Amino acid sequence: TPPATGERFTDIQREVDRQFPVGRFVAVRSGVVVADAPSHPQLVKDLQSQGKSPKDMLVIQAGVEYPASGIIFTFVSASPSHA
């Protein structure tokens, strides 16, 4: 599934905000809501019980205003090699 970008993300966010109460976590894949839950851990659990991964979809929280852009940091742990 290609990532939701720009205008498409805005459309999805508006639809989620319209359909779900503030604070609800919603998983969307290919523009379709596949699950929702009151917390992120519960949403992940529900998706996994359906054999789905949250890594394969967009997960957003209803009522949250997301910035138009952002920086994502990835930390890589370097471990010494053993001879």
Provide the token pair at 68. 């138009």
% pLDDT > 90, the chain = 55
- For the chain, report the end-to-end CA distance as a whole number of angstroms: 42
Distances (CA, A) of 74 to 58, 62, 71, 77: 19, 26, 10, 10
Give phi and psi for 42, each to the nearest 5.
-70, -40
pLDDT tens string 15-48: 999 999 999 999 999 889 999 999 999 999 999 9
pLDDT at residue 21, as a whole number? 97
Average of per-residue pLDDT values in the chain? 83
DSSP H helices, 1-83, are: 6-19, 40-49
pLDDT at residue 81, as a whole number? 55
pTM of the model: 0.73
Question: Does 60 score more than 60 pLDDT?
Answer: yes
